[in-house]
């Protein structure tokens, strides 16, 4: 027996502990073969959520319109539109609707009876594409047996209706109807989405990224492709000062410091005290706050001071970073040292521009990138606050363990930004720590640096360098997740001339309809060009201007439709969901979401418009997916174990 055969036998002996005889192995083979022939589960792809937790949660609850579609198909003309709407809202927000119904319904027992029957019907429908085993695993512990009885067809019972009615009557009689309604509603939500992909940018701008992260951490099946806004928060959680300054500056700019203070419990008092003292008599007009209706305007004056204070510290810290890493090739971002205070100008891009503000009490014109002792103290305290924030660290660990810069899943390539290309459409060579990388290798090396920046505590020097690269992934000119030549933050604050605000996208974005380019990218990542897709976030699709998210006949899909309210005036919609199920792919465009309160009180759902991207000629089965490949391998190993039992090589137990 050679070495390979010995290893194989060792593995089969290990497998025999789980399947100790021919009967057990045979049963598992039959089970797995049955699963292979089921329709594939429904995948949902969402991106660029940017803290808009109410809309995000609603889209998850309604399955991007799938719940209402199931209700329409199940009840067709037997329910009025009003009743369908009420049933859908109950499924989305069961506890809240039950509180309202309890106050309004005169005959609550009749309402319970009718509602439970309807919910059982919908549960049966959404569970029908899964094995009993999979449904059983999704069932709530308290009601698993009862739900299984109600949704499983009983062929051996003569009076089926009486049997089911008696179960429901007992649930109502013993006072468990409200809890049972909540359990069924949550189960329906759980079953309409089998797996969730977040293609980047959970953080920044909106008020509740921490709420979204809590939701994702409790979600049954999810992966995340890091966006540039996620990356900068990951860098901040590592304690990297430029990332911390950037996170705070963006939060204050969009009037969402509550995310840091209340959401994560990060103490900003040292920064506020410093800003109030240092910028008390300083012009802060260039540092306006882009606030929404929830913002308390009494904080406006202080927030503008904080905004200016942290922005200046960010520019200093970034300047130090750029000087430390000439390989970043970001010297044109060094602008603090190009200010002429007498002429009130700044020298950029080979010419002088008038500068709107030169009132910088902490900037030394001789050494402009040096933090003052007070600034150093503030940043040191903020660094400790981020490092010791248990909730942030928990969220960031989840991003690391469930995420990456890209993912290959079921013949789809998912990434947030772009694969950097040169003007000719070739993969661009990027210098990372003295060596050139391109294409998939570039993604892999940067992913590795991102992980090292958080985890390599036994190598402090390597960890610090890796954290610098996390910052580069956020804003570097050849970063795959940023995808532009520069981030013109300084210019947008200080230079009136909008020509200087321009950020040029990587050539990738002008080549999205060139099949040859997309095929080259898919091949680079080891995918079959005939059946694979690229699913992309990051750049809002301006539907209002006639742009389309579907590129190259559906080979590439850019699914950033503007979940963030800051972008909705540009896009004309409020986000996309890409839905991939056993019938094919469709893109769901969402209208703006009013509020959770309106959804509950007025039963106002999000209007969503569906576009078919691709229809499968034959219904896609589990056998056609990545899980199917794993199951086929398991079947092969079990068949080898079966043969080993029959040949007497391994003895049955």
Query: What local confidence, expressed as pLDDT, does residue 293 receive?
Result: 67
Q: How confident is the model at residue 544 (pLDDT cuts 50, 70, 90)?
A: low
Mean pLDDT, range 396-420, rounded to an integer: 97
Please name which of 580, 550, 524, 212 lies closest in space to residue 409, comparing C-alpha atoms.
580
Q: Does residue 186 sit in the same domain as residue 220? A: no
- 572 conformational bin, left if phi > 0, alpha if psi -120 to 50, beta if neither: left
- Cα(197)–Cα(625) distance, integer angstroms: 15
Are residues 567 and 540 in contact, defined by beta-carbon separation less than 8 angstroms?
Answer: yes
Both 215 and 151 in one domain: the answer is: no
Q: What is the mean pLDDT of residues 533-558?
A: 83
**pLDDT on residue 163:** 84
Strand 403-404 with 222-225, pairing: parallel
Which tens digit of pLDDT belongs to each residue from 218-249? 999 999 999 999 999 999 999 999 999 999 99
Give the chain's domain count.
Answer: 3
Give the end of a domain, one of 429, 455, 489.
489
Judge whether residue 570 has pLDDT over 80.
Answer: no
Q: Work out the percent of the chain whose per-residue pLDDT is above 70.
A: 96
- Residue 111, both tokens: 């309402």
Q: Look at residue 352 and tell me if it is in a domain.
A: yes
**In whole angstroms, how far apart are CA 74 and each of 79, 126, 148, 619?**
10, 10, 19, 21
Q: Which residues pair with 505 in a beta bridge?
A: 484
On whether both 172 and 320 belong to a single domain, the answer is no
Q: What pLDDT score does 158 carry?
A: 66
- Mean pLDDT over 339-348 rounds to 95
Q: What percent of the chain has pLDDT over 90?
A: 76
Q: Which of 160, 192, 224 is the last residue before a domain boundary? A: 192
234 vs 605 pLDDT, higher one: 234
Beta strand residue intervals within 26-87, DSSP E? 43-46
Taking only the tens place, the pLDDT of each residue in 70-79 is 999 999 889 9
Distance of CA 372 to the CA centre of its chain: 38
The predicted model gives 108-134 an average pLDDT of 91
Same domain, 272 and 179: no
Question: Residue 99: inside a domain, yes or no?
Answer: yes
Q: Give the span between the Cα atoms of 202 and 518, in whole angstroms.
A: 26
* Per-position DSSP letters for 197-258, written without gaps between them: EE-S--SSSSS-HHHHHHHHHT-SSEEEEPPHHHHHHHHHHTT-HHHHHHHHHHHHHTT-HH
pLDDT at 317 over 80: yes
Phi, psi angle pair for 18, to nearest 5°: -80, -35
Residues 79 and 25 placed together within one structural domain of the fold: no
Tokens 């898919």 belong to: 522
Structural domain contains residue 439: yes
SS3 453: helix
For residue 249, how many C-alpha atoms fall within 13 Å in the half-sphere facing its CB? 22
| 159-206 confidence digits (pLDDT tens) | 777 888 899 999 999 999 999 999 999 999 999 999 999 999 999 988
Give the C-alpha separation, 130 to 602, whole Å: 34
Q: Is 473 a residue whose pLDDT tops 80? A: yes
Tokens of 370: 């040096």
Say how many C-beta atoms besides its own lie within 10 A of residue 503's C-beta. 15
**Which run of H or of E encompasses 392?**
helix 390-402
Q: For residues 244 and 252, what is the distance between their CA atoms, to the nearest angstrom? A: 12
Residues composing the chain: 653
pLDDT at residue 540, rounded to an integer:
75
The answer to whether residues 273 and 353 belong to one domain is yes
Q: What is the DSSP letter of 618?
A: S
Q: Is 577 domain-assigned? A: no
**pLDDT for the residue 635:** 96
Supply the pLDDT for residue 477: 95
Q: How far apart are CA 243 and CA 254, in angstroms?
A: 17
pLDDT value, residue 407: 97
pLDDT value of position 181: 95
Residue 641 DSSP class: H
* Strands 412-415, 406-409: pairing kind: antiparallel
> What pTM was computed for the model?
0.92
DSSP string covering 473-508, please? Answer: HHH-TT-TTT-BS---HHHHHHB--GGGG--PBPGG
DSSP state of 414: E
Using the predicted structure, report yes or no on whether residue 573 has a pLDDT greater than 60.
no
What pLDDT, on a 0 to 100 scale, did the predictor assign at position 341?
A: 95
Q: Poorest-confidence range of 304-308, 466-470, 610-614?
A: 610-614
Residue 37's pLDDT band (cuts 50, 70, 90): very high
Q: Residue 538 has what pLDDT?
A: 80
* Average pLDDT taken over every residue of the chain: 92
Q: Is the pLDDT of residue 563 over 80?
A: no
Q: Which residues pair with 462 in a beta bridge?
A: none
Beta bridge partners of 584: 581, 615
Which of 577 and 447 is assigned the larger pLDDT? 447
pLDDT bracket for residue 15 (50, 70, 90): very high
- Mean pLDDT lowest for which of 60-64, 228-232, 363-367? 60-64
| In a domain? residue 243 | yes
Task: Give pLDDT, residue 304.
Answer: 96
Tokens 């739900």 — which residue? 147
What backbone phi and psi angles, to 5 degrees, belong to 20? -75, -5
Does residue 145 sit within a domain? yes
- Do residue 404 and residue 318 come from a single domain? yes
Residue 106 has pLDDT above 90, yes or no: no
Token look-up 């009180």 returns: 601
Residue 572 counted as domain residue: no
Both tokens assigned to 284: 């802060």
Tell me the pLDDT band of 347, cut-offs 50, 70 and 90: very high
Q: Once rounded to an integer, what is the mean pLDDT over residues 560-576?
A: 69
Q: Rounded to a whole number, what is the distance in angstroms from the first to the last CA of the chain?
A: 24
How far apart, in whole angstroms, are the C-alpha atoms of residue 257 and residue 289?
A: 11
Asked if residue 146 and residue 105 are part of one domain, the reply reads yes
- Ranges 291-300, 375-384, 543-552, most confident: 375-384
CA 421 to chain centre: 25
Pick from 489, 505, 534: which residue ends a domain? 489
- Where are the strands (E) in 3-135, listed by range? 43-46
Range of the domain at 641: 3-38+635-646
Q: Quote the DSSP letter at residue 579.
A: E
Instruction: Judge whether residue 585 has pLDDT over 80.
Output: yes
Q: What mean pLDDT comes out for the span 510-525?
A: 96
**One domain, residues 287 and 366:** yes
Nearest to 590, CA basis, from 557, 562, 551, 567: 562
Helix (H) or strand (E) holding 430: strand 430-432
**Residues 265 and 319 occupy one common structural domain:** yes
User: Is residue 558 one of the residues assigned to a domain?
Assistant: no
How far is CA 323 from each of CA 232, 317, 340, 537, 585, rounded to the nearest angstrom? 20, 10, 21, 31, 47
Q: Which residue has the tokens 């890409």?
A: 578
Q: Are residues 12 and 125 in the same domain?
A: no
H helices of 93-227, in order, are 94-104, 108-127, 132-138, 144-151, 160-173, 177-192, 209-217
Indicate the angle between helix axes 81-92 and 53-62, nearest 10 degrees: 120
**3-state DSSP assignment of residue 196:** strand
Q: What helix, strand, coil percent values describe the chain, rounded to 5?
A: 55, 10, 35
Residues 300 and 174 in one domain: no
Residue 581 in contact with residue 547, Cβ under 8 Å? no
CB-based burial label for 423 (10 Å; 0-12, 13-18, 19+): exposed
Inter-residue contact 552 to 514 (CB < 8 Å)? yes
Q: pLDDT band for 476, please (50, 70, 90 cuts).
A: very high
Residue 48 CA, chain-centre distance (Å), reads 7
pLDDT at 155: 60
Q: In the 8-state DSSP scheme, what is residue 78?
A: T
- Segment holding 345, helix H or strand E: strand 345-348
Tell me the DSSP string of 502-551: --PBPGGGG-TT-HHHHHHHHHHTT--TTT-EEEE-SS---GGGT--SEE
* Amino acid 368: pLDDT: 97
């Amino acid at each position: 027996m050679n070495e390979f055969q010995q290893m194989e036998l060792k593995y089969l002996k290990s497998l025999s502990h789980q399947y100790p005889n021919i009967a057990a192995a045979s049963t598992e083979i039959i089970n797995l073969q049955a699963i292979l022939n089921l329709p594939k589960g429904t995948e949902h792809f969402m991106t660029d959520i940017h803290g808009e937790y109410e809309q995000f949660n609603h889209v998850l609850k309604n399955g991007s319109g799938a719940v209402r579609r199931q209700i329409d198909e199940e009840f067709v003309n037997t329910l009025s539109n009003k009743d369908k709407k009420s049933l859908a809202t109950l499924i989305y927000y069961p506890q809240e609707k039950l509180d309202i119904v309890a106050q309004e319904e005169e005959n609550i027992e009749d309402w319970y009876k009718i509602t439970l029957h309807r919910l059982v019907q919908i549960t049966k429908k959404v569970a029908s594409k899964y094995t009993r085993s999979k449904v059983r695993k999704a069932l709530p512990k308290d009601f698993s047996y009862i739900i299984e009885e109600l949704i499983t067809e009983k062929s051996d019972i003569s009076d089926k209706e009486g049997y089911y009615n008696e179960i429901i009557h007992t649930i109502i009689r013993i006072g468990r109807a409200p809890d049972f309604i909540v359990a069924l509603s949550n189960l329906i939500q759980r079953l309409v989405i089998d797996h969730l992909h977040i293609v980047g940018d959970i953080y920044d701008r909106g008020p509740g990224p921490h709420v979204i992260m809590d939701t994702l951490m409790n979600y049954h099946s999810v992966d995340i492709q890091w966006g540039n806004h996620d990356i900068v928060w990951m860098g901040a959680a590592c304690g990297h000062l430029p990332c911390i300054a950037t996170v705070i500056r963006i939060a204050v700019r969009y009037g969402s410091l509550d995310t840091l203070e209340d959401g994560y419990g990060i103490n900003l008092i040292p920064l506020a005290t410093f800003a109030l003292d240092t910028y008390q008599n300083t012009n802060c007009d260039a540092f306006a706050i882009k606030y929404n209706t929830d913002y308390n305007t009494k904080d406006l004056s202080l927030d503008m001071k904080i905004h200016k204070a942290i922005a200046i510290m960010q520019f200093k810290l970034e300047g130090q970073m750029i000087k430390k890493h000439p390989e970043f090739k970001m010297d044109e971002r060094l602008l603090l040292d190009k200010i002429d205070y007498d002429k009130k100008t700044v020298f950029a891009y080979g010419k002088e521009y008038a500068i709107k503000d030169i009132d910088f009490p902490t900037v030394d014109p001789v050494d402009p990138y040096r933090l003052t002792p007070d600034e150093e103290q503030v940043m040191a305290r903020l660094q400790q606050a981020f490092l010791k924030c248990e909730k942030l660290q928990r969220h960031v660990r989840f991003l690391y363990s469930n995420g990456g810069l890209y993912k290959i899943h079921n013949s789809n390539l998912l990434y947030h930004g772009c694969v950097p290309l040169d003007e000719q459409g070739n993969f661009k060579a990027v210098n990372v720590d003295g060596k050139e990388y391109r294409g998939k290798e570039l993604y892999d090396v940067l992913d590795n640096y991102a992980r090292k920046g958080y985890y390599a505590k036994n190598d402090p020097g390597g960890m610090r360098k890796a954290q610098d690269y996390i910052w580069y992934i956020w804003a570097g000119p050849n970063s795959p997740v940023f995808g532009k030549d520069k981030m013109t933050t300084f210019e947008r604050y200080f230079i009136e001339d909008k020509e200087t605000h321009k950020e040029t996208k990587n050539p990738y974005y002008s080549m999205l309809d060139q099949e040859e380019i997309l095929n080259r990218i898919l091949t680079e990542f080891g995918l079959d060009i005939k059946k694979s897709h690229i699913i992309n976030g990051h750049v809002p699709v301006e539907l209002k201007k006639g742009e389309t998210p579907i590129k190259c006949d559906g080979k590439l899909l850019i699914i950033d439709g503007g979940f963030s309210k800051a972008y909705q005036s540009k896009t004309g919609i409020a986000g996309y969901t890409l839905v991939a199920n056993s019938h094919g792919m469709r893109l769901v465009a969402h209208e703006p979401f009013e509020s959770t309160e309106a959804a509950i009180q007025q039963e106002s759902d999000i209007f969503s418009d569906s576009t078919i991207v691709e229809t499968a000629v034959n219904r896609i089965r589990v056998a056609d997916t990545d899980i199917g490949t794993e199951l086929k391998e398991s079947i092969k190993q079990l068949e080898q174990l079966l043969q080993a039992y029959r040949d007497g090589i391994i003895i049955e137990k």
